[in-house]
Structure 1
Amino acid sequence: MFDSPLSASAYEVLAVDPAVDEETLRKAYRLRLRQTHPDTGGDAAVFIQVQRAWELVGSPDARAAYDRGHGFGEAAAPEWSGWRPPSARTDTRPRARSYGHPGGWRRERYLTLMREWAGRGVTLDDPYDPALVRSAPVGLRRLLADALAEEATARIVADLGMGYTVWHDVAASGRDADPDAKIDHIVLGPSGLYGLLSEDFGGPARLRRGEFVGDGVPGAPLAELLARMRVIARAAGVRFSGAIVVLPDEDVVDPIQELGRVRGVRVAVTSRSALATVLRRGITGARDIGGNEVFDIRTRLQQTVRFA
């Protein structure tokens, strides 16, 4: 949130004009706290957003930095989101084996469509400029938001260590599937084999009957993830332990929410900061994988996986 191309601005969350003075801003913050506090019938997720908005604009220095632009406006496309040059790394521990380019498919689509939207002959000095991104159609902003979400997840799973293998941007188009269908990440480790969806809805999303609902939710993301996991499972002859949906920290009330079985698959929704914990311990009830089985599954996936 806030650093997402889809999110409301800190001023919109506080329900004020960006040009208001400090006293008006402070009064608006206090009012929004009362309106959204769970003890008075407010929404806990929105209450967290209000607090985060105040952190960003509540002091003159923070507000000036926020107004200059931040987050996605400074996010240059990485060559490899899970990799760092040896000279830039202070942590020399072995990292997870990573294949594919996290966020690459959506980054490429975003840049292509952004140039088309801007128009022929128009030079885009910075296609990630906050003002430009905010003015773009929602479909374009969603592409960039999802790319950034995938890159954030890739950085987290890369630090899990050498016991894990990760495939990013895995093509999952079966006979009747969307040719652009993909799984954001597949993670194999001692706790199991998991399909991951890195999402950013631009704000809190609700779960109803095993699916995300809300104005910012496109289609049926959880159902699509599970369908694509079945395509890979059949092709590689493997069985997934579960599915994990990763959301920005500010967009979830509970860092880890286990949904039980959804369409026969164990599912968890987690904040980014709790993702490593979930992948190390596994989803409740999921079968651990060890020894030769890890090697066999990794070999099968290596022989099967194609990248989007």
Structure 2
Amino acid sequence: MADSPLASNPYEVLGVAPNASDDELKRAYRKRLREAHPDTGGSSAEFDRVQQAWQRVGTPSARAAYDTGSDAGSGGGGSWAQSATGGARRRGDSRPNATSHGHPGGYFRERYLDLMREWVGRGVELDDPYDPQLVRRAPREIRHLLAVAVAEEKTATALFTLGMGFTLWHDVLAGSGPLDKIDHIVLGPTGLWAVLSEDWGGPVKVKRGEVIGEGLAPGERPLHDLAVRAKVVAREAKVRFSALVVVVDDEHAPQSLTNLRSIRGAQGLLVERSRLVNLIRTGLPGVGVGGTDLFEVRTRIQHSVRIVY
């Protein structure tokens, strides 16, 4: 699996500059290994990160592959540049996929490309905006845009496999500007789901029913913000959401499914991406479309929804 655009690169983990000599790199690795060891006050997670970083750049051949973006986990343009348009049916699977509207990740990809060109500078030829070496050097703000776009595309590809009976809307405007959007709305027999796809570049956890983590901006409240946007859509369409779901990569979640607080009757959840489809298919106990006809809910949303372009 390719690195997240926000992932710390091996040089950052080892605490050296990318142009450090082989001897400097080796000394830094030994120092970080001692600091990160659980017996000396570190943690097993940090110890593993140091070892993984050394595997990526610890030998001349591995370092050359990483520096040129040709190693398997460098997140090259082939993966970051791929844009989901709703997902692909698995080979041998003839079941109809979910009905899908909108362009998942489209807004953030456009913002990423605009800011990347601005950061590189006018008049500079930008052959590959997804070149891994270029992405690694970009400011975190720009890398985060790409990370979120990729996260939305991954989630959309998974949701597309829900099959008949489910309808998806992506990048739904829920406020005055394009940043005020719901990444995915899912409607099916198990209810109406508002879904936020995110990648903060590292693990998250839950405190007082809200998602927190080192990668979040100060004061950022993902569940609260999702609830505010869901309220806008619910009011315009005259519908009620069953659940508010924050989706992250599996390795960043504290567990496969974590209950957050309930807001206006909608259950908040923090979910690993690999668990999402099964969760929505099976639903939550006692949660559905509230007795309202599914076709009626779909019609109301379709008539009122505004897609971000």
Cα offset for 1:231?
0.3
Matched residue SS, 2:162: coil
Matched residue SS, 1:101: coil
Please tell me whether residue 295 in structure 1 is matched to residue 295 in structure 2: yes
Change (3 A) 1:44 1:249: farther
Change (3 A) 1:25 1:230: same
User: How far apart are the structure 2 equivalents of 1:191 and 1:43?
Assistant: 41
Asked if 2 retains the 8 angstrom alpha-carbon contact of 1:2 and 1:10, the reply is: no
Amino acid at match of 2:78: E
User: How far apart are the structure 2 equivalents of 1:141 and 1:116?
Assistant: 14
Asked if 1 retains the 8 angstrom alpha-carbon contact of 2:35 and 2:41, the reply is: no
Cα offset for 1:132?
0.9
Moved more, 190-199 or 18-27: 18-27
Moved more, 113-122 or 57-66: 57-66
Matched residue SS, 1:113: helix
Change (3 A) 1:146 1:95: same
Cα offset for 1:97?
0.8
Amino acid at match of 2:246: V
Matches within 5 A, 1:191-270: 191-218=190-217, 219-262=220-263, 264-270=265-271
Amino acid at match of 1:132: L
Asked if 2 retains the 8 angstrom alpha-carbon contact of 1:183 and 1:229, the reply is: yes
Cα offset for 1:115?
0.9
Amino acid at match of 2:271: T
Asked if 1 retains the 8 angstrom alpha-carbon contact of 2:206 and 2:260, the reply is: no
Amino acid at match of 2:232: V
Match 1:81 to one of 82, 85, 88: 85
User: How far apart are the structure 1 equivalents of 2:47 and 2:190?
Assistant: 34
User: How far apart are the structure 2 equivalents of 1:246 and 1:56?
Assistant: 28
Aligned to 1:149: 151
Cα offset for 1:288?
2.2
Aligned to 2:134: 132
User: How far apart are the structure 2 equivalents of 1:134 and 1:11?
Assistant: 11
TM-score (norm 2): 0.81
Matches within 5 A, 1:20-99: 34-35=37-38, 66-69=66-69, 70-71=74-75, 73-75=77-79, 77-78=81-82, 80-84=84-88, 90-99=92-101
Higher relative contact order (CA 8 A, sep 6+): 1
Cα offset for 1:244?
0.7
Please tell me whether residue 169 in structure 1 is matched to residue 168 in structure 2: no
Aligned residue pairs total 299
Asked if 1 retains the 8 angstrom alpha-carbon contact of 2:108 and 2:146, the reply is: yes
Aligned to 1:186: 185
Asked if 2 retains the 8 angstrom alpha-carbon contact of 1:257 and 1:270, the reply is: yes
Matched residue SS, 1:303: helix
User: How far apart are the structure 1 equivalents of 2:59 and 2:257?
Assistant: 31
Asked if 2 retains the 8 angstrom alpha-carbon contact of 1:45 and 1:250, the reply is: no
Runs of at least 5 residues in structure 2 that lack an aligned partner in the other structure: none
User: How far apart are the structure 2 equivalents of 1:288 and 1:42?
Assistant: 46
Amino acid at match of 1:155: T
TM-score (norm 1): 0.81
Change (3 A) 1:33 1:150: same
User: How far apart are the structure 2 equivalents of 1:291 and 1:144?
Assistant: 39
Amino acid at match of 1:250: E
Give CA deviations for 1:36-78 in whole Å, capped at 9, x if unaligned.
x9xx986676577568768867999877755542325323544
Change (3 A) 1:34 1:171: same
Change (3 A) 1:273 1:48: farther
Amino acid at match of 1:130: P
